[in-house]
Amino acid sequence: MDQGPIVAVLHSDSVPDAELMASVADRAVVRYTEASGLADALRGAEVLFVYDFVTRALPGVWHAADRLRWLHMGSTGVDPAMFPEMRASDVVVTNTRGVFDAAIAEYVLGQILGFAKDLSGSLLLQQRHEWRHRESERIAGATALIVGTGSIGRCIARLLRAAGMTVRAVGRRERVADPDFGTVATDLHAELPCADYVIAIAPLTARTRNMFDASAFAAMKPHARFVNVGRGELVVTDDLVAALRTGSIAAAALDVVDPEPLPVRHPLWELPNVRITPHNSGDFIGWRSEIVTAFTENFDKWIAGRPLDNVVDKRLGYVPG
């Protein structure tokens, strides 16, 4: 009796909710595995759901993917799957585009407001029981440069515009009169001197790796703040530390860093003008259920032979807009 296709599910410390996965389990053999058992789970599997989307295990077990047809990443970024053998294969790659957009946009707005209103300074004064009147900045009228024009960048742009900010963007193709970004340019260094806030949300590709280096930080205004919600590897970390120490830029909010997790003695921890969060800007209450639902809805389409949502262009390393 045909039990259906084999679906491998790579997880870490938490397993996808069984009730949410029921529609898949009814039509397929589901193999749950951690990284140590991934090679065995992949043998004969036609589908791989990467629920543990920070994994680096895929290249090392690719030899076992003897029947794989579709790989779904439970994240927006797909760089852990963009190794040469995968790119050269016929395996279709999809991602969970859209699930994290609004939460990350809210995080970016929150960090911008935190800088403008010096909320960390207020907390420090409160802890000292010190009543000190101060003035704060307005964000209305300030310019935000969004580097990365995918769905998350677009959601950030809409929220910042609603708060009264002027928005520009840097992307792969020039555009004018974009409904969300306004002007989209391609020359990062030409745009950086105009920005009060620089938001990095570009996908990690060969083209974007280390794009924020010493020359990029030198091009920014001394009062500019840098917010990274993309990938830590977009930044040359030592150059960022130097820019923050010397006052080349005013401050940074980092949800992603290189390396991750950040070592306990790393200098970024000690800089007073840095805000660090542990790669959780998109992790709203209920996000795990959302990414499972995104997979099961795509599985419905795959099993029916219909086009999948959020198909990644493996040459580019992301879902084209």
Task: Work out the number of other CB atoms within 10 angstroms of the CB of residue 103.
Answer: 19
Cα–Cα nearest to 75, from 146, 150, 23: 150
- Give φ, ψ of 10 to 5 degrees: -90, 120
Is residue 278 reached through a cis peptide bond, with omega within 30 degrees of 0 on the bond before it?
no
User: Quick one: tokens of 317?
Assistant: 């390393």
Q: Which of 19, 85, 260, 297 is catalytic?
A: 260
Q: Is 69 exposed, middle or buried (0-12, 13-18, 19+ CB in 10 A)?
A: middle
> Using CA atoms, how far apart are residues 158 and 17, in angstroms rounded to an integer?
33
Q: Which of 97, 154, 168, 231 is catalytic?
A: 231
What 3 state SS string does 220-272 have?
CCCCCEEEECCCHHHECHHHHHHHHHHCCCCEEEECCCCCCCCCCCCHHHHCC
Active site residue 260: yes
- Which DSSP helix (H) or strand (E) runs through 43? none
Active site residue 231: yes
184, 59 contact by CB (below 8 A): no
Q: Which of 31, 72, 97, 279 is catalytic?
A: 279
Catalytically active residues are 231, 260, 279
